[in-house]
Amino acid sequence: MSTLRVINIETGEDVTAENSIINRKQAESYARKQEIEKWQRGRQHDFTASNMQNLNEVYTVLTTAQCGYLMLLQCYVSYDGGTLINSDKSPMSTADMMSVLQLKRKRSTFYDFIKACIEHGVINENTDGTYAVNERYHFRGAFNNQYVVKSYTTKIKHVYREVKATDIGLIYRMLPYVHQETNALCENPFEKDPTKIRWFNRKELAQVIGVDPDTLRRRLPKMTFDGKYVIARIKVGGAPERYTFNPSVFYRKDTEPDNTLVAMFNVAK
């Protein structure tokens, strides 16, 4: 039995039975939990999740542009087994997919893409004629997995309208390397000690995503949405460039982004 009591200082009455006693750490922990839950509720319908551990299975069988097409399509997955759905919740047809991918005039490009996805189990064609993205790679809903990176669907759709599919594909290939605390693109995205993060320079980042460094130099400044940049290029002294994702587009933590990270992207195009 606790020896702590709640006393009304005006009357001297013991009112412990009508009140709860919690210490400051408990109160702070509870407040933090409430903050996380509130933020998650507000963002739940706005993001889809990608399993960082398995994405290499995708980008080794799809071209860079096809990865870009998939990056957009995963914005349309439902909570029910990853079925691709329209805004009115109806199942997506191939015509619907062509429309959102802006490939109506490039039918062969679309069918090459969907054929590759189905052959390799990235997208499944169900017996009822609907299509579903394999939840091994992308899904929507609750998760308890440190190997997940969130993609904010509204922002992805904006990016897709403003850049080439190959640019989105390059971004897709970077997802397995997003650091949880800092959103940095690095070799060890699960490192807890910030002093031990092994940031990628341009040559290293280009190598892991399968392009030449000059492609990154030319394409990164063009990756924008609504005048904001998707990736920040960070220069410290004479060290090589480092890179970090805009948390408004991709993010791993379950709480609001750090103010410094948010401020970093508060620049006009």
32-46, 206-220, 243-257: least confidently modelled range: 32-46
Q: Write out the DSSP string of 178-218.
A: B-TTT-BBBS-TT-S-GGG--B--HHHHHHHHTS-HHHHHH
Residue 41 three-state SS: helix
For the chain, the domains span: 1-37, 50-148, 156-269
Task: Check residue 40 and give its pLDDT.
Answer: 47
Can you tell me the distance from the alpha carbon of 167 to that of 162, in angstroms, rounded to the nearest whole number?
A: 10
- Phi and psi, residue 13, nearest 5°: -75, 140
Which residues lie across from 250 on neighbouring strands?
151
The fold of the 50-148 domain, in CATH, is Arc Repressor Mutant, subunit A (1.10.10)
Measured CA distances, 23 to 17, 83, 146 (Å): 17, 47, 30
Q: Which class is 156-269 in CATH?
A: mainly alpha
Task: Check residue 13 and give its pLDDT.
Answer: 66
Asked if residues 210 and 173 have their Cβ atoms less than 8 Å apart, the reply is yes
pLDDT digits 0-9 by tens, 223-265: 998 888 999 999 999 999 999 999 999 998 877 888 888 898 8
Can you tell me the distance from the alpha carbon of 56 to that of 209, in angstroms, rounded to the nearest whole number?
A: 10
Task: Check residue 35 and give its pLDDT.
Answer: 52
Can you tell me the distance from the alpha carbon of 80 to that of 261, in angstroms, rounded to the nearest whole number?
A: 33
pTM of the complete model beyond 0.85: no
Mean pLDDT, the chain, whole residue set: 87
Residue 39 has pLDDT above 80, yes or no: no
Can you tell me the distance from the alpha carbon of 244 to that of 144, in angstroms, rounded to the nearest whole number?
A: 24
Token code pair at residue 104: 């109506």
Task: Check residue 2 and give its pLDDT.
Answer: 57
Percent of the chain clearing pLDDT 70 (strictly above): 83
Nearest 10 degrees: Cα torsion 258, 261, 264, 269: -110
pLDDT digits 0-9 by tens, 136-171: 999 998 777 789 999 999 999 999 999 999 999 999
Task: Check residue 46 and give its pLDDT.
Answer: 85
Task: Check residue 225 and give its pLDDT.
Answer: 86
Residue 112 has pLDDT above 80, yes or no: yes
Residue 42 has pLDDT above 60, yes or no: no
pLDDT digits 0-9 by tens, 63-93: 999 999 999 999 999 998 899 999 999 999 9
Residue among 119, 127, 131, 117 at smallest CA distance from 80: 131
**Between 37 and 248, the higher pLDDT residue:** 248
Is 156-269 in the same CATH topology as 50-148?
A: yes
Task: Check residue 44 and give its pLDDT.
Answer: 47
